[in-house]
Structure 1
């Protein structure tokens, strides 16, 4: 995880102050911090914990439980490939292998040029259109090898 600068810490405190009166504010605060910085900076966990009167371990536990929270900034483009059973049955494993080879990264990694982050996801709700992917927040069904090659070309891989 990256360190939090003083300016970032001030912003995290402001986010906490804005949301602290919400019922169950931890998840909305984490989402807002990630929206602001593109990830959850390491020092933000302690700041959030203090503001919510929680332990840092409790905040870290929540942030690390949910796969959408990042410890480092994602690449310019994020490609998520469904790894759930329906998609696996329709070729998602081979699709994932194809993309990992093409990008020269493993799951949850970003290319060296910081252009693309590849993430596994477990169910996009497109089981009838398997295998499914999500590219920069847009779901794509029936992703073939050729369709994925076109997607990779579109994002500059």
Structure 2
């Protein structure tokens, strides 16, 4: 296993916390990602053993939910909404612009480690489509100029 001792202890504590709770897998994964920033694939055997699930089941669970990451993210997360309302208002051109400007595809991090680009399937901001979310802030009526300003702001912080 390539987990650090600190990561292993953190994961084991979370596993113990949720072990006896019904439907524990989802909150367990959130807790691990909240603590580590992602769910390391090397944690699957620990979780598998504790919950009597196969490693394939753990992998399937983690990869089913778009929110979970299996590798560290950048300092900031830029999510581009891909739901129908945003698509009808031009989010595809926004997503292509983000990919071009950042030099990454979805689930990748810019070379400077500042921004990870992620798809999201509805930010609940349909009246202001197209929308993105930078970290915890939803931004509507996005244009390439707004994307430039968003990126500039996080790189300066």
Deviation at 1:143, TM superposition (A): 1.1
* Aligned: 1:137 with 2:132: no
SS in 2 for 1:156: helix
Residue number in structure 2 paired with 1:8: 7
Deviation at 1:11, TM superposition (A): 2.0
* In 2, Cα distance between equivalents of 1:102 and 1:10: 38
Deviation at 1:38, TM superposition (A): 0.8
Deviation at 1:24, TM superposition (A): 0.7
| Cα offsets for 1:63-86 (capped at 9, x unmatched) | 110011101111001100011121
The more displaced of 4-13 and 56-65 is 4-13
Deviation at 1:29, TM superposition (A): 0.8
* In 1, Cα distance between equivalents of 2:28 and 2:128: 34
When the two structures are superposed, what TM-score results if normalisation uses the length of structure 1? Answer: 0.93
SS in 1 for 2:155: coil
* In 1, Cα distance between equivalents of 2:114 and 2:6: 26
Structure 1 unaligned regions, length at least 5: none
Deviation at 1:57, TM superposition (A): 1.2
* Aligned: 1:108 with 2:107: yes
Structure 2 unaligned regions, length at least 5: none
Number of equivalent positions: 156
* In 2, Cα distance between equivalents of 1:28 and 1:136: 20
